[in-house]
Structure 1
Amino acid sequence: MNLANKITFARIMLIPVFIMLFPIYPEWLINKSAVIQHLDAYGIYYACAVFLLASASDKLDGHIARKYNQITNLGKLLDPLADKLLISAALILMVSQQYIYAWIAFAIIAREFIITGIRMVAASQKIALQADQYGKIKMVFQVIAIAAVMLNNRPFSFFTDVPVDQILLYLALILTLYSGYNYIKNNYRTLKL
């Protein structure tokens, strides 16, 4: 396994860490452990740091794979899978704590499943479909929006009463849906459906 794939694999391994740090602990457990009490109060910050670290590693593994010619079929499979698992985990956890509406999470996750399905059909036909610029931009907006929502609009709330986190979330949603539409439109004729 090359370095780029190891970084991608490490990103996948950070997802359970992110989930464990996200404060969704039952009351009986919080009352029994000082560590859990600490995580209940500050875990969202740790979870956000792990989420941002995992998200940043996406750029790193892609850069290394291209620079050192380490692009592999395993990497092509694991890299988008890691992104989807990380984003989906964050969205599901945020819905569970009522940080975001369930329909927003559903729309974003559904888009990811649809695009993954199209890629699987393409792969079965020996067709390589490349991610476009809109897909990369939507990923950046998703990461920033999710982090801002997890941090309850910080650091923006220090400067303004505008709910920047919610604005970013809706922008991420729009970009996610548009990039999905654009991806389907651009690749539909390539596939032998």
Structure 2
Amino acid sequence: MLTLSNKISLSRIFFIPPLVFCITQVQHNSHYRYACLFIMLVIGLSDMLDGYVARKRNEITKLGGYLDPVADKLVLMISCIILSSDRIWPEPRFPNWIPTVIVCRDLLLMLGTMALLLVTGRMNCKPTILGKVSTCFQIIAIISVLIGNHVPLPALITIWWTTVVFTFISGLFYMYRGVKQL
């Protein structure tokens, strides 16, 4: 059964195609940057809203426990990959190593989670504070690239490195937590 909070999580996945479309149009018309920012704002607000609604209405479900992080990962990974492409996105863009770190971490975590489920019959998908901070910095990094040249390059580089550091550390912590469950 789809609860209201699950529908809100699912809506984030449905916002991915319009976001991708707008990102691919920026090099033809820079006004699409504003559409990208608006869509990211809606996605971010819906991410906060679904958790609030689930707790407030006591609708915390197993489906929601999977759907919420999957929606987050899809939005973040797809955005980072596209925003690093010199064929699609104008400057400034992510250096290729940033989406590589983010995607590799998330793929390792997904594979580890599935392995844990196969070995133990259970899995813990609860986010940690490090994971939430990592996600927050990933969103800030994406928005800083979407804003374009309004962010000075030294600030952009600082945001990128901070994002990568938190992404890496949170990945190590999730792996540590997964190994402890074996």
Q: State the partner residue of 1:126.
A: 121
Deviations 1:95-146 (A, max 9, x none): 1126011111111111011111122223333323122110011111110111
87-96 vs 115-124, greater mean Cα deviation: 115-124
Q: State the partner residue of 2:17.
A: 16
Q: Could you list the structure 1 runs, at least 4 aligned residues long, displaced by more than 3 angstroms after superposition.
A: 23-26
C-alpha distance in structure 1 between counterparts of 2:33 and 2:136, whole Å: 20
Q: State the partner residue of 1:31.
A: none
Structure 2 counterparts to residues 25-44 of structure 1, below 5 A: 40-44=29-33
Q: State the partner residue of 1:114.
A: 108
User: Contact 2:116 / 2:178 at 8 angstroms: preserved in 1?
Assistant: no
Aligned pair in 2 of structure 1 residues 172, 166: CA closer, same or farther (>3 Å)? same
Aligned pair in 2 of structure 1 residues 46, 139: CA closer, same or farther (>3 Å)? same
Q: What is the CA-CA distance between 1:187 and the residue it aligns to? A: 2.5
The counterpart of 2:181, out of the listed 177, 186, 190, is 190
Q: Quick one: percent identity of the two aligned structures?
A: 30
The counterpart of 1:145, out of the listed 141, 144, 159, is 141
Deviations 1:41-79 (A, max 9, x none): 211221122012212211111111122221122212211
CA radius of gyration, larger in: 1
Helix, strand or coil at the partner of 1:41 = coil
CA RMSD of aligned residues (A): 1.9
Structure 2 counterparts to residues 18-167 of structure 1, below 5 A: 18-24=19-25, 40-96=29-85, 97=89, 99-124=93-118, 125-129=120-124, 130-154=126-150, 157=151, 161=152, 163-167=154-158
Deviations 1:12-32 (A, max 9, x none): 100111001113478xxxxxx
User: Contact 2:116 / 2:122 at 8 angstroms: preserved in 1?
Assistant: yes
C-alpha distance in structure 2 between counterparts of 1:55 and 1:47, whole Å: 12
Consecutive unaligned residues in structure 1, runs of 5 or more: 27-36
TM-score normalised per structure 2: 0.87
User: Contact 2:131 / 2:170 at 8 angstroms: preserved in 1?
Assistant: yes
C-alpha distance in structure 1 between counterparts of 2:149 and 2:9, whole Å: 29
User: Contact 1:23 / 1:44 at 8 angstroms: preserved in 2?
Assistant: no
Consecutive unaligned residues in structure 2, runs of 5 or more: none
User: Contact 1:153 / 1:165 at 8 angstroms: preserved in 2?
Assistant: no
Task: Output the amino acid matched with 2:139.
Answer: V
Deviations 1:129-176 (A, max 9, x none): 12211001111111011101211253xx4xxx5632221121011100
